[in-house]
Structure 1
Amino acid sequence: MMIYVIAIVAAIAGFLFGFDEGVIAGALHLLHAQFGIDPVMEGVMTSAVPFGALFGALLAGRWVDALGRRKVLLAAALLFAAGAVLAASANGIAMLSLARLVLGFAIGMASLVAPLYISESAPPEKRGMLVSVYQLAITLGILGAYLINLAFAGSWRSMFLFGAVPGVALFAGMYMLRDTPRWLVTQNRTREARTAIASIRGLPLGSVRVDAELQDIARTAESDKGRGSWAELFGPVARPALVVGIGLFLLQQLSGINAVIYYAPVVFREAGFDSASVQLMATIGIGVVNVVMTVVGMALIDRIGRRPLLLLGFAGAALSLGMIAIAAATESTALDTLAIIGLVLYISAFAVSLGPLPWVMMAEVFPLNVRGLGMGTASLANWGFNFLVVFSFPLMVAHLGLGGVFAIYALVCAAGVIFALRVVPETNGVPLEDIERHLRSGQPLRTLKRAPAAGEGILLGGSRP
């Protein structure tokens, strides 16, 4: 089915996201040996990716509406390949930091547009699972980076250069695909939109279902006529969606996931794994857990819904981070096993829930006319806090110890339980147009309910014209 091809191609951007963030873990000790890096230089180099992504997400939020989803992903693919080549040829930390800034810019663009591209193409009943393919690709990218680190253990240049391969693959794949029906409608390219819907759904052009979907998209686009503005984004209709988008990414990043990904070998060393090779193998094991549990999350997201999965994820992450904090704070070798169990449980909770759900919901909740702007703003928050966590982690560990840092992350996850209960809506199975109608109805976003089956009435908070 065409929608799966679309999801897989767009998700290559997720693989690149994970690869370019994870590859630094295995390269750090080689870079230390060759260039001599102090903690500040290390923080600048590793945080160059999220810093670049800040600007990539900000600009993509505008470009995605003006140029289309497809063209922005094509541009990101070129930047991925160029950044990988530049990193591999770096002659010092300054040039490597610049290369990672370019890669970060590409990640910021792609992390906004790829989930949007999938979400606007997917049928409502499969949207959560299909958008989660992007998060699965991130975990595969992280695992792939760890395996490349192992394969090229003596050459950091080869590690970075490998990232050009999926960059070229993303460009080739997107070149052969169309833009989304929703964007095509906003550009008055109705014939192309009809063709895109028919292709994605596997239906003939004259199908009643194709015409019905096209008409629903067109009605919503007509009510949203005009380019979205900042005033509209922060206005009463879109503001609840903005709170959900920014809030979920804030909590996701402050749960400490990128500190674990970037500095996993350091975490294992602090837990008592002295050999660099043992640390890397243990890190690969964590990468495998991340992939497997992401698949579990994909199987659950459209079955049990977004909110229950978020509650499970935040509660599990708070508990497991608390275990790590206790083990690290006591510095007892007898508790090393507790720390490792806590780390595995944390990765599991994150992969099932906190990893995919912010990306899924960001691509669902915003009205069409401010969707690019809203997702750009949510992504900006994501990368801002990503940068803060990655840059601050080595400094925080130096001053608070690993136990103190993980205790802070545990408290953030506990706050996430409250946020999920009081703010987050259940968007499972709800068409994007119905989510927008609910926002415009003035009812609280968290009261959104799944569209009833045919003959069961209308969606609470909105009516189908």
Structure 2
Amino acid sequence: MRTRRAGSTRAQLRGRGAVMVYVIACIAALAGLLTGYDESVITATLAPLGRTLVVAPMEEGLMTASLPLGALMGALAGALLSGSWGRRPLLMGAAVLFIAGALVSAGAPGIILHAVGRFVLGVAIAIGAITAPAYIAETAPAARRGMLACAFPMAFSIGVLAAYLVGVAVDDDWRLLFASAAAPGLVLLVALWRLPESPPALVQAGRVEEAGALVARLNGWKSRDPRITAEVAALRAAARADARNGNWRDLLAPEIRPALLVGTGLFFFQQMTGIGPAIHYAPTVFAQAGLDEGSAQIATTLGFGALNIAVMVVAMALVDRIGRRRLLFLGFGGAAFSLALLAATAAIGTLEVQVFAFMALALYGASFSLAIGPLPWVMASEVFPLTLRGAGIALSTLSNWVFGFLALLAFPPLEQAFGFAPVFALAAVMSLLAMLFGARCVPETKGRTLEEIEAHLRSGQPLRTLGAPARR
């Protein structure tokens, strides 16, 4: 009888712990939804906003540039404050900025104040993009961390699609479209009020007993389970090892550089393997199928958005089963094949090969959503040491925006000069190089605690050997 009761108690504890980590991931991921929504909403509002506020070319540039400028400031602030503030308070600060930025943008009587609101949203986006992945990773058990870390890029994709759908629903009411972003920001703020801080942040702040109690709750362990002591000891050891670190310059230390290479390298290949050209080319394929320009654009937006979200669910199911590296090879391998097929169909350019163009676009979209889109976020939240996690994710996120900007800047002149076929061929080559990069630089973090990853990083062994089978 006692055995049954003990088993029932353990099951209840595990169940409560599982519920808590999912709740934390879902709530923190709202920052991703807000990021996708606020970054995308400008495309739906530029024309009606210009008619209302009479936007001059210089003012349009100010309005467009205010958000990335705010993101740059937010990345610097998030990296500097993440260690002293902790994950949860900093994320609450981002939620306040999301609400304020949305309301100021919506109610602005002129373009200058509207740009100020967009700047505030940029700060919120950067802080959320730095803090939410770290918060999720630090509260998730090692066995489920990859799946839960995918919640942020999943929510980002939902936010992008939601911005488009809300834009269609409210038509030209740009004020309502901007104001609508305040609602999920308010939900994020209120929900975070009841959530705990992450165990590493508690240990870093000297609140060791609270960290032990939280470790027990998150894992569904009894209060006297010896694994709690071992986990807290590992967290304290990591905090002591990090005592001398904590600023941007330390990211360039020899033992930390491999993590920085992984964080920025994966975002580089994410942007350079064809997502911009593929989205730009898709309306052409739909137009060849007989759709008018507006319908082709709608089909592209809804098609890519729905496919992205559906396949990312598959990625969440696979990332902790088959591992990060295998998923990476599947994603970039699929991208290389589909981009080569797109290059061939674009070169031929006849209706007879249209079915292959559709297949290639679908396969590319699935490959991107399976690995190329989510994995950089997952890996960036895992590979950096505790005190450098905020700065590391900040620099990785900044590199994502910089590489994305460069890719968007380079694509139109390349397409105009050479056509779609060479551009897709170049993206296919970049996908192959990404696979080589993964083989040479990316570690397998499946099932490893963050403390184990950090210990391996500081050991001086090549980072890629983490999780590799031992040689006989």
The number of equivalent residue pairs is: 453
CA contact (8 A) 1:181 1:193 kept: yes
Q: Give matches, 1:211-360, under 5 Å.
A: 211-257=229-275, 273-328=291-346, 331-360=349-378
Match of 1:107 among 96, 106, 125: 125
Moved more, 347-356 or 372-381: 372-381
Partner of 2:4: none
CA contact (8 A) 1:43 1:391 kept: no
Match of 1:66 among 60, 74, 84: 84
Q: 1:73 aligns to what SS in structure 2?
A: helix
Match of 2:216 among 194, 198, 207: 198
Aligned equivalents of 1:88 and 1:334: distance in 2?
48
Partner of 1:456: none
Match of 2:185 among 148, 158, 167: 167
| Post-superposition offset of 1:266 | 8.5
Q: CA separation of 1:271/1:224 partners in 2, compared to 1, >3 Å: closer, same or farther?
A: farther
> Do residues 382 (structure 1) and 400 (structure 2) align?
yes
Q: 1:366 aligns to what SS in structure 2?
A: coil
Q: CA separation of 1:96/1:342 partners in 2, compared to 1, >3 Å: closer, same or farther?
A: farther
CA contact (8 A) 1:290 1:348 kept: yes
Deviations along 1:220-274, one digit per CA (max 9) or x if unpaired, are 2122223424443211211111111110111112234367679976986698742
Partner of 2:449: 431
Q: CA separation of 1:124/1:17 partners in 2, compared to 1, >3 Å: closer, same or farther?
A: same
Aligned equivalents of 1:338 and 1:60: distance in 2?
45
CA contact (8 A) 1:21 1:262 kept: no
TM-score normalised to the size of structure 1?
Answer: 0.86
Moved more, 194-203 or 184-193: 194-203
| Post-superposition offset of 1:344 | 2.3
Aligned equivalents of 1:37 and 1:325: distance in 2?
39
Q: CA separation of 1:15/1:230 partners in 2, compared to 1, >3 Å: closer, same or farther?
A: closer
Partner of 1:188: 206
Q: CA separation of 1:81/1:262 partners in 2, compared to 1, >3 Å: closer, same or farther?
A: farther
Moved more, 122-131 or 221-230: 221-230
Deviations along 1:85-143, one digit per CA (max 9) or x if unpaired, are 23333566665555433322211111111110011111111110111111211122122
Aligned equivalents of 1:178 and 1:99: distance in 2?
30
Q: % of aligned pairs identical?
A: 44
Aligned equivalents of 1:322 and 1:43: distance in 2?
36
Q: CA separation of 1:28/1:340 partners in 2, compared to 1, >3 Å: closer, same or farther?
A: farther
Q: 1:443 aligns to what SS in structure 2?
A: coil
Aligned equivalents of 1:77 and 1:262: distance in 2?
33
CA contact (8 A) 1:226 1:369 kept: no
Partner of 2:6: none
Moved more, 292-301 or 158-167: 158-167
| Post-superposition offset of 1:184 | 1.1
CA contact (8 A) 1:18 1:139 kept: yes
Match of 2:390 among 372, 377, 380: 372
Amino acid paired to 1:214: V
Q: 2:139 aligns to what SS in structure 1?
A: coil
Q: CA separation of 1:443/1:95 partners in 2, compared to 1, >3 Å: closer, same or farther?
A: same
Deviations along 1:161-187, one digit per CA (max 9) or x if unpaired, are 221111111111112212111011111
Q: CA separation of 1:104/1:345 partners in 2, compared to 1, >3 Å: closer, same or farther?
A: farther
Structure (1 or 2) with the larger CA radius of gyration: 2
Moved more, 194-203 or 291-300: 194-203
CA RMSD of aligned residues (A): 3.2
| Post-superposition offset of 1:196 | 2.1
Partner of 1:53: 71
Q: CA separation of 1:346/1:10 partners in 2, compared to 1, >3 Å: closer, same or farther?
A: same
Q: CA separation of 1:339/1:428 partners in 2, compared to 1, >3 Å: closer, same or farther?
A: same
CA contact (8 A) 1:24 1:262 kept: no
Q: CA separation of 1:334/1:263 partners in 2, compared to 1, >3 Å: closer, same or farther?
A: closer
CA contact (8 A) 1:260 1:267 kept: no
Q: 1:293 aligns to what SS in structure 2?
A: helix
> Do residues 158 (structure 1) and 207 (structure 2) align?
no
Aligned equivalents of 2:287 and 2:80: distance in 1?
43
Q: 1:120 aligns to what SS in structure 2?
A: helix
Consecutive unaligned residues in structure 2, runs of 5 or more: 1-18
Q: CA separation of 1:305/1:269 partners in 2, compared to 1, >3 Å: closer, same or farther?
A: same
Aligned equivalents of 1:178 and 1:216: distance in 2?
20
Partner of 1:446: 464
| Post-superposition offset of 1:306 | 0.6
| Post-superposition offset of 1:390 | 4.0
Amino acid paired to 2:178: F
CA contact (8 A) 1:47 1:391 kept: no
| Post-superposition offset of 1:215 | 1.5
Q: Give matches, 1:379-418, under 5 Å.
A: 379-393=397-411, 397=415, 401-418=419-436
Aligned equivalents of 1:258 and 1:42: distance in 2?
23
Q: CA separation of 1:270/1:62 partners in 2, compared to 1, >3 Å: closer, same or farther?
A: farther
Match of 1:136 among 154, 162, 181: 154
Partner of 2:11: none
CA contact (8 A) 1:25 1:263 kept: no
CA contact (8 A) 1:306 1:426 kept: yes
| Post-superposition offset of 1:447 | 0.8
